Amino acid sequence: MGVALRHPEGWVILVAPEGNWVQIVPPPAGPEPDPLRYAEFISLRVLQARPSESEDALRSIAFSLLPFHGVAKFQREEVAGVERYRFEGTGTAVPAQWAATGVLAVTRRWLLHIVCAKPIDRWRTGQRECDEVIRSVRILSQP
């Protein structure tokens, strides 16, 4: 997908049939992982960019791709060569609520949506881990 990022060793990579969404999740307890049941995950999506998206439109996209229900932050980061927005919020999976931090990178042709989430009850330590994941994001090529 043209992106490199650090993730926990041993986690499972789930690829959507369309090929534009990857979830990296802890090893499943049962035989079949269910991506809707994870409160701890890393999500990476690649979407086709629409010309001249406004910041409000980008904010809407950032929070609409996963089941966010609370928004804490959405702010532009200064990064050489790529327009990036960092965001934070809370959401819900079937078994539990999660808190997350993410980045929306805007290239000429693509939007890269990357989110790291941890269960809310583990967010105090999980936030540091997620910050590391988001800081590790490198765009290798423009998909």
Gyration radius of the chain's alpha carbons:
14
Determine the pLDDT at residue 101: 96
Long-range residue pairs from 29-36, CB within 8 A, at least 24 positions apart, any chain: 34/94, 36/93, 36/94
Q: What residue has token string 């950032």?
A: 62
Query: 11 with 26: CB under 8 angstroms?
Result: yes
Q: Which residues contact 78 (CB under 8 A, 6 or more apart)?
A: none
What residue ranges do the domains of the chain occupy?
3-139
Determine the pLDDT at residue 119: 92
User: What amino acid occupies position 81?
Assistant: G
Averaged pLDDT, groups of 10, the chain, 143 residues long:
83 86 81 65 88 84 91 85 90 86 88 93 91 88 56
Report d(CA 12, CA 8) in Å as an integer.
Answer: 9
Which CATH number among 3.10.450.50, 3.90.1150.10, 3.30.390.30, 3.40.1000.10 corresponds to the domain 3-139?
Answer: 3.40.1000.10
Determine the pLDDT at residue 29: 63
Strands 21-25 and 12-15, bridge-based pairing:
antiparallel
Q: Taking the model in full, what pTM does it have?
A: 0.87
Determine the pLDDT at residue 68: 92
